[in-house]
Amino acid sequence: MSKNAGTFLVTIVALFFISACTIVPSPHSLKVSEGFENPLGFYDANPSFSWKLPADGSIISQSAYRIVAASSADLLPDHADIWDSRKQNSEESLWIKYGGKELQSRQKIYWQVKYWDQDGKESEWSELAFFELGLLTNKDWQANWISLPDKDGEAYAPEYLRKEFTVSSEIEKARLYITSKGIFEAQINGQKVGEDVMPPGWTPYKKRIESLTYDVSDQIKQGDNAIGIVLGEGWFSGRIGYRASQWIKKPYPRAICQLEITFKDGTKKTVLSDNTWKGTDQGPIRFSGIYDGETYDANLELDDWSSPGFDESVWAEVSSEVIGDEFTLLPKRHHTVKSKMELPTLTINKIDDGKVVFDLGQNMVGVAQINVPVKKDQKVTIRFAEMLEKDGTLYTENYRSAKSTDYYIPKEDGIITWKPTFTFHGFRYVELSGFDEGAEPEKDWVTGLVQYSDFGQTGTFTTSHDKLNHLQSNIIWGLRGNFFDIPTDCPQRDERLGWTGDAQVFAPTSMFNCDVYSFWASWLQSMREEQREDGSIPVVVPNILSRKASTGWSDAATVIPWEIYFRTGDKNILDENYRMMRGLVDYYHSESENHILGIYTYGDWLQPYPSVEGDRSADTPPDLVGTAYFARSVELTLKAAKVLGMDNEVSELEELHKEICLAFDTKFMDEEGKLTTKIETQTGYLLALGFDLIPIEKQDKAIKNLLRKIDDAGGHLRTGFLGTPLLAPVLDKFGHADVMFEMLFKETYPSWFYSINQGATTMWERWNSYSHKDGFGDASMNSFNHYAYGAIGQWMYERMAGLAPLEPGYKKIQIAPIFESPLNSAKAEYSSNYGIISTEWSKTDDGTELSVTIPPNTSANVIVPINEGEDFLVDGGKIESRKEIKHIVRNNETITMDVEPGAYSFLLKK
């Protein structure tokens, strides 16, 4: 062999060795079940596992994975004693079900994952992740419910409960398991436990109460300790709904807690809530209510009441009762409410009679933290409003009976800093009175603490149009304001209930903007618990109104599970909710006559210009709405059955769906695709077309009739809660996106921009909740923070920017922006479970530029409108030159292609 040949061979071997030993970067963002990262007090003993692949350019897809789980971090990765999945040849990196040993309450599991890339190269192990289970059954609780003895007929004042205990050994760890019938704040040795707001939250209390787990290892010391609980009414027994809620046998609040301490020598100590605790209702919080606010008397402050050594001699013995099995205690399934943001005061306006109004510039939900000079025993009054009267005073008529007022009584002269504990408000403006009249008001006297369930933002959307960006801001603020442990309809008046109709139309928009999978999954669990024996679904969840089912509202039971599945790809959400979905379908079927469903409905709620003034259910007939949603729920249940492999139910549901569509077409449409109802409505056509209820040959005729109705309205919408979300997808589907853009960009009533022109900083309940010209709308139903009309966001993200899921979970993405619009640019970014997806386009002198990012382990279908004679380039060259771009199809209107993960810069050249 020649010297050169030998050198060449050595080089080849070396290159092969280097290639074979190339380090493939490890996976990251390890999460369990609905997206929890290293959760404590976790609810799921049969979790699923998800991770992301690194977006470094070399990783296209996953070909296999391996998960290991152990009882100790030291055992990983080589000695997994809980579960070793072994190498699984699969591209799936989401929702991998656990397959190891049965897990128990309190157990802490450590886990890691590795993957093999598209070339079969093995990655490094991920960093360690963990989850620690909470108390999973009632039998895990040795503690009792405790409270002061009930005082029937007396107003409830929050109770202060306490117990001292001694720790004699060095602490390894300590866990506080706690919940309440009501809401609570826990303290240990004078410090608040956690940062949660109004825990444990709101569930159907007759069925389930959620518990929380706190790591309090750092709050407990050797020697003497004390634990305290402040207990309020909250949703459990306070004023909620349209009456005082007395639907539970024992409406007075109770607390239960179990403090479990593990010492370094292996021994344990447990402190239980029981009859050895002491309590008083003579603390500083004199009153608290969700609707009415909180009263705090600093003269009654209990200094160091949750610290050891406090004199509790005048405190009463508590009453206690065993936990029982009348309902289930389960770990909280989604994130608690927290104070997430602070809003400073922007302007101050002095009003007569010593009142000052502070404007935060943004309608928000939470509480006001005050920092004001005060005089002893001179009550400070804090009032709230979303809007102002023309004279600058608060407009509170739309709060109805909700007082929404906080009071603070000082114990001495000076400056106090205070915020309430057991209430929340919906407001932009804060009115202060009763402060030290000798002081000059300052902006820092009032700060808004924005509170909502502790989820992160996943999506962003911006355009070249300022009002469209304002609309997006209003959508986000509407979401923040109404995702307060449950999806509420409004956050300010004497309601704040989990209305199902509002929720089902807004769910897809919410899923793009925020990480709300666990939020929805938890609420759906409440919905399952509230489903009636006949299969019907109440209009609010938790159900405190005892009202009938309503089509368009009850369908949240079918719409939301499907929408969550389609946006996450997790079949478990369908598996959990399928029986509920089928139950609603069967209920509708039993109530229908010849497949026409005419049960009660709120209809196209608050449609503008109803034929009968004041008719909130509007002009689309109940049987049309009912039959349309009957068909829609059957269709979604059918889709779920296919995903879950329920072949025996698929054929039955397919036949039922055909029969409903035929009945709908026969009763409500003539041969010219025209509604036969007494009044033609935009919503009637939108339901027929949006839900595919009429034959294809009639659809072109029906869309012309819809366009005629829009033209009759001067290009404006005439839709309420149910019709509005269908406007954009229907018009777009049938090639009339231009009509939708014209409608969306209307400045006059009714339109999205109309409310912005009147000063809206959130979505409104009515298209005309307020106008500069006419003032306020009907105060009995006039919320300035109502997210339903924010459902337009889905079309904004998916078509204006062009970022949509094509397959469940964004496994395949559709990038299909609309360039022919009033916009010069649009951009959307979404943090999917696979990684960041982004699309950005802008019109330039050279043409239209489009930038796209596709994460590993996915692919995308890119559809770009193109005119004859235009060139379409990628990174300055022909698209055929990129091997990552495949299946390129051109026609006279579009160019379509499939692209692999990576970043692309396209140019549609003039």
pLDDT category at 88 given cuts 50, 70, 90 is: very high
Q: Tell me the catalytic residues.
A: 495, 765
Judge whether 559 and 504 are in contact, CB under 8 Å.
yes
Q: Kindly state the percentage of the chain with pLDDT values over 90.
A: 90
pLDDT for 892: 83
Residues near 453 by Cβ (< 8 Å), separated by ≥ 6? 334, 335, 336, 337, 338, 483, 484, 485, 516, 519
pLDDT category at 514 given cuts 50, 70, 90 is: very high
pLDDT above 90 for 760: yes
613/304 Cα distance (integer angstroms)? 60
What confidence tens digit (pLDDT) does each residue in 439-494 have? 999 999 999 999 999 999 999 999 999 999 999 999 999 999 999 999 999 999 99
Alpha carbon dihedral 759, 762, 767, 768, in 10-degree steps, equals -40
What confidence tens digit (pLDDT) does each residue in 847-904 have? 999 999 999 999 999 999 988 778 889 988 888 888 899 999 988 889 999 999 999 9
Give the mean pLDDT of 697-701. Answer: 97
pLDDT above 60 for 243: no
SS3 category, 510:
helix
pLDDT for 22: 64
pLDDT category at 41 given cuts 50, 70, 90 is: very high
Task: Count how many Cα atoms sit within 13 Å of the Cα of residue 539 in the half-sphere of its side chain.
Answer: 16
What confidence tens digit (pLDDT) does each residue in 338-391 have? 999 999 999 999 998 899 999 999 999 999 999 999 999 999 999 999 999 999
Judge whether 343 and 448 are in contact, CB under 8 Å.
yes
Question: What does each C-alpha distance from 491 to 136, 364, 494, 724 come to in angstroms?
Answer: 32, 9, 9, 22
Beta strands in 33-74 (DSSP E): 40-42, 48-52, 62-70
407/285 Cα distance (integer angstroms)? 10
SS3 category, 823:
coil
Question: What does each C-alpha distance from 537 to 244, 482, 546, 555 come to in angstroms?
Answer: 23, 21, 11, 8
Please tell me which residue, 150 or 35, carries the higher pLDDT value. Answer: 35
pLDDT for 788: 97
pLDDT above 50 for 249: no
34/520 Cα distance (integer angstroms)? 10
pLDDT for 787: 96
According to DSSP, the residues that pair with 364 across neighbouring strands are 427
pLDDT for 248: 42
Q: Which two tokens stand for residue 881?
A: 């030159």
Give the mean pLDDT of 813-837. Answer: 97
pLDDT above 80 for 2: no
What confidence tens digit (pLDDT) does each residue in 521-539 have? 999 999 999 999 999 999 9
pLDDT above 50 for 6: no
Helix (H) or strand (E) holding 500: helix 500-513
Helix (H) or strand (E) holding 853: strand 847-854
pLDDT for 870: 81
Judge whether 200 and 252 are in contact, CB under 8 Å.
no
Cα 635–Cα 672–Cα 690 angle in degrees, nearest 5: 25
pLDDT above 60 for 245: no
pLDDT for 151: 83
Task: Count how many Cα atoms sit within 13 Å of the Cα of residue 524 in the half-sphere of its side chain.
Answer: 29
pTM of the model: 0.96
Per-residue exposure over 293-322, b if at least 16 CB sit within 10 Å of its own CB, e if not: bbbbbbeeebeebbbbebebeebeebbbee
**If we measure between CA atoms, which residue out of 513, 504, 446, 445 comes closest to residue 478?**
513
Q: Which two tokens stand for residue 752?
A: 């999205």
849/434 Cα distance (integer angstroms)? 59
SS3 category, 408:
strand
Judge whether 682 and 723 are in contact, CB under 8 Å.
yes
Judge whether 459 and 468 are in contact, CB under 8 Å.
no
pLDDT category at 241 given cuts 50, 70, 90 is: confident
pLDDT for 242: 56
Average pLDDT, the chain: 95
Cα 67–Cα 72–Cα 74 angle in degrees, nearest 5: 90
9/659 Cα distance (integer angstroms)? 73
521/342 Cα distance (integer angstroms)? 28
Please tell me which residue, 1 or 256, carries the higher pLDDT value. Answer: 256
According to DSSP, the residues that pair with 350 across neighbouring strands are 356
Q: Kindly state the percentage of the chain with pLDDT values over 70.
A: 97
Give the mean pLDDT of 200-209. Answer: 96
According to DSSP, the residues that pair with 167 across neighbouring strands are 223
Give the mean pLDDT of 205-214. Answer: 97
Q: Which two tokens stand for residue 648?
A: 């025996």
Least confident window among 101-110, 475-484, 596-605, 607-616: 607-616
pLDDT for 315: 98
Judge whether 818 and 848 are in contact, CB under 8 Å.
no
